[in-house]
Amino acid sequence: MATAHGVKALLIDDDLRASAAHKERLEADGYLVTLVTDVNAAIALIEEAPPAIVFVGIGAKGTGSIDCIQRLRTNQLSQHIPVVILSTYLDERAERRRLRSVRRENW
């Protein structure tokens, strides 16, 4: 897998245990990761210094994270930034909204 050496990334995840694991894995892949726990903090950070990519952690329930992605997609400052969902779950709501699953090796 290619590394993302020095690519600025934003990780949005309110699960502290999962976010630590996601952050560690992304940094091992070469991303420069900034972690926030909610979409309001993410939007504020994007206004200051937009990242090249946004990673959103989705837990078993997934509903709050789907709303987060919708806000990112409707905001003029963030709608062009690629969003990657980090999860072991993909619920029906995500599938209905045409979110597709891609293995980590294929990012």
Structure confidence by residue, pLDDT tens digits, 15-35? 888 889 899 999 999 999 999
Q: How far apart are CA 53 and CA 8, in angstroms?
A: 7
Asked if residue 77 lies in contact with residue 46, where contact means CB atoms within 8 angstroms, the answer is yes
Q: Give the pLDDT band (50/70/90) at residue 4.
A: confident
Percent helix, strand, coil in the chain, to 5, is 40, 20, 40
Three-point CA angle 63, 86, 24, nearest 5°? 130
Q: How far apart are CA 88 and CA 85, in angstroms?
A: 10
Q: What is the CA radius of gyration of the chain?
A: 13
pLDDT (tens digit per residue) in 33-80? 999 988 899 999 999 999 999 999 886 555 467 788 888 999 999 999
